[in-house]
Structure formats: C-alpha cells, structure tokens
Amino acid sequence: MATTYLTRVFGTPTNGKKFTFSAWMKKGTLSGDQAFFSTGNSSDPITTFRWNSDGKIYLFYLSSSSMVWEFATNSLYRDCNGWYNVVIAFDSTESSAGDRLKLWVNGEQITTWSTQVNPALDMTPTMNTAVRHDLGTNGPGGNYFTGLMSHVHFVDGTAYPASTFGSTDATTGNWKINTNPTVTYGDNGFFLLKNDASLTDQSGEGNNFTLGGGTLTKTEDNPSNVFATLNPTDVMKQSGGIYVPTFSNGNLTIAAAADYNYQTFGTISPETGKWYWEMKIDVANTTGHRLGVFFGNDKTHSGSYYYGANAFYIHQNGQIYYNGSNTVYMSSYTAGDIISVALDVTNGNIYMSKNGGASDSTWADGSGNNNQAFPGTSINGKLGASWISGPATPFFDVYGTGNKESVNFGNGYFGTSAVSSAGTNASNIGIFEYDVPTGYTALSTKGLNL
C-alpha cells in the first residue's frame, strides 16, 4: 500500500461496545510502525491496530493523553512472503477482563502478552463510533501500512472468533481463508477487497470506503496463492557493507538511493520445475541494472557486485555473466524495456528475451551461442548440472542514484501500471506482459504444486 489508505466516517453503531476486525495481510517491510486500522485524526483520542517496528502486533486506545487499554504481543511477525490472518474481537461487556479483547493470528489465539492493559467493563473506544476510520494508516498521514490486504471484514455489534473467517486445512495443516463467512455485519460493518481493488462494500450494508491517498491496485497475490516478491530481508552482503534498496509496491519495485550496488532476491527458491518472470526498467540514469538467477545458499562475496560461479545474470550493457565468465549475448536495454526470464531448474536451462523477443532473444550454454528462438524447443541451453547446485533464486541488482526497476512475478503489474496486453499463459497462474512459454509457470504456491 505504501502511502495508500482507505477512509470512511462511521455512523451510529449497532453496539459500540462490541466489534470484530478480520483481515488477511502480507507485510511489505519490517521497518517502521505500520497501522492497518485506526480511528481519529492522529490526535487524542485514537484507537489503533498496527504492526510495530519490532515485529509485534500493537493494539491500543489512547484518550486524554493516557492509554485506556493496550496490548503488545510477545510473538514477532517478520515474514514478508506469507499472508497473516489477523482477527481482533472486542467485547467490553465480558465479565472477565482478560476476555474483553481477543487476538488470533492465523487461527492461533494469543494468550500471553508483553503488554496487557485490559479494557474497563462496558467501556466504549473510538473504534466503531461515529468518527473517521482508516485502513492502511494512523491518522491519516503517518505509519502507513506498506504491504497487501485482502478480505477485510468489520463487524459491528458481535465479537466473532477466528474460526468464523478461516479454518485449518486438513491436508497441509495451514490456516486457510473462508471466502464467504456467515456473519451479521451490523450498521457500521463492511467487507472490502474481496476479489479486486474495489472500494465497494461487499457486506450488503452499503458502507463503501473512499481512497484517501496513494494508488490502489489489484494483485494476483492472495492468501490462497502466494506469489514471489522481492525479499527485503535477503540482500547481498558486499565487501563495503550491506546496501538495502528502497522497496515499494508490495516489494515488487526496488530503487537505488546512491551509487552503490543494491541487490536482492526473490522470496521463492525452487529446486526443480520451469518458471517464468519479467522485469521492467523504470529509470535508467546509468547502465546500472542486472537481473538473473543465483544458485545455492551462500550469498556473501568480496566485490561490489556478484561475479562468480554461483550467479547467472545479464547486465544492462548486454553482457551475460555465468560460471565466473562473461560475454555479450544480448543488445543493451534501457528505460521502458522488459526482460523476460524463463528458468528450467530441472534441466539447467536459462532463457532470456528483451521485449518479448521481437528485437532480441538469447540463450546461453557457455559456448557463445546466442540469438536463438525464445525459449526454443529444439535447442539445449543447458548450463550443466555440475555448475548448478542448490536452490535457484531470482536475483536483481540496481546501481546508481535514482535508478529503479519493477518485477512482475505474475501479479500483472509493473509498479502501479498494469501490463499493456496480457500474453497467453497455459497454466492460468499469473498475468504477464508476454506469452509464457509452454510448460513454464509463475513462481507461486499454486505453481509449486502443479
């Protein structure tokens, strides 16, 4: 969401002492406090539900400059790849103080807290009263939530358990989404972001939200099919230090803040299978872009960028580096160009093409072969099983102040711009700019289970 947030002024509640909030969320970054639901205008009084910078979930009601109630988890939530289902049930009419606020994360109820100040009996917080409510910020104007949201429910007048909104999969043991929960929403209740980026309330109560700021985009990434993103917790360690790129757009865009190599990886590292993704150059102030595949687990190196036996990547100037050597296979690329990557981990093939292969396509086998059909059904671009070992991870590098690139792992967007004309995709998993080669699919949990 970055600086995107949704807003609505509530009306008179069905019952201001009882409510339930449920949402599926995929975190974008680990830095900063990030509010996912709040009331007020960044002023006193205010009720806020947020992800803390330390990884905890923090829930509080502030009034007259004092904390009326507050809760902070012991558990730390630091996964930027998977989705979390957070369910918060509030009922100040409960006789037992410890039952007045309940929290579940992926179906597990939190029973111990690092901070616990319980609500008073029969008290009414600002949440679910006739004040402004915001999704994705605290205020608005600060503590923006930087990730993704899906299936956001608010129930006015009833405190429901997590089992209303999800259940444990009998096969995998994972917490899975209930796409159509049976609830009574109440006068202020709503159901947003069910299957798209619409701000229309799906609960039947007509409590539509408006876009308060930023850009709201649809994503194929969802709780039932988790797509790869760039990983803010996995960056290349260099001799000069660790340089973390600026991540945005749900960790699908990276930018360089200075003249250093900012390198990161995808969140999914397959050991078998055939996979496809695309990368677009957004800004090219210098020839400072690289993308490719890294093999293995040791991502430490001594130079300013990786040039060794475990990496295969193409530089913006057209050079392809592999197995500790390099040669020119493709023409250079620049702002607006899209590079496609088809990776066959099982057989050790890597194919790349620029702008769908209309002007340039290539494959590499270490012998100077290039300009072959992409991805080619009669040629063997095998890099060699002796060279390829360990998991295969998408690899990205951006160098030079202001340079920026966006990745499409199947969400159908480069940054906030949708693909201009979706290509064919036999697997029906993900949306890409160009045709997905036969037998290849998106790096996602459904793709892994094909």
Q: Where a domain ends, among 161, 179, 213?
A: 213
Residue 225: inside a domain, yes or no?
A: no
Q: Are the beta carbons of 99 and 91 closer than 8 angstroms? A: yes
CATH number, domain at 319? 2.60.120.920
Domain limits for position 415: 230-448
Check residue 222 and report its DSSP letter: B
H or E segment at 343? strand 338-344
Contact at 8 Å (CB) between 332 and 318?
yes
DSSP assignment, residue 228? P
Domain with residue 127: its CATH number is 2.60.120.200
**Which element (helix H / strand E) includes 448?**
helix 445-448
Do 287 and 373 lie in one domain? The reply is: yes
In a domain, 218, yes or no: no
Let me know whether 344 and 248 are in one domain.
yes
**Same-domain check for residues 205 and 243:** no
Q: Which of 186, 213, 240 is the last residue of a domain?
A: 213
Is 13's pLDDT higher than 60? Answer: yes
Is 175 in the same domain as 272?
no
Co-location of 174 and 96 in the same domain: yes
- CA 311 to chain CA centroid, Å, is 25
Residues 196 and 256 in one domain: no
- Shared domain for 13 and 68, answered yes or no, is yes
Alpha carbon 166 to its chain centroid, in Å, reads: 20
**What letter would DSSP give residue 284?**
-
Inside any domain, residue 219 = no
pLDDT tens per residue across span 195-247: 888 999 999 999 999 999 988 888 899 999 999 999 988 877 665 667 788 89
Longest dimension (CA), the chain: 76
Residue type, 48: T
The reply to whether 175 falls in a domain is yes
Does residue 291 sit within a domain? yes
Domain assignment present for residue 93? The answer is: yes
Confidence check: pLDDT of 360 > 90: no
**pLDDT tens digits along 328-359:** 566 788 999 998 888 888 877 777 788 886 55
Domain end point (choices 180, 213, 246): 213
Number of domains in the chain: 2
- My answer on whether 244 and 375 are in the same domain is yes
Global pTM? 0.88
Q: Are residues 180 and 239 in the same domain?
A: no
The overall average pLDDT reported for the chain is 86
Domain co-membership, 204 together with 251: no
Q: Are residues 86 and 182 in the same domain?
A: yes
Other CB atoms within 10 Å distance of the CB of residue 259: 11
User: What confidence tens digit (pLDDT) does each residue in 62-91 have?
Assistant: 998 899 999 999 999 999 989 999 999 999
Considering the domain architecture, whether residues 245 and 344 belong to the same structural domain is answered as yes
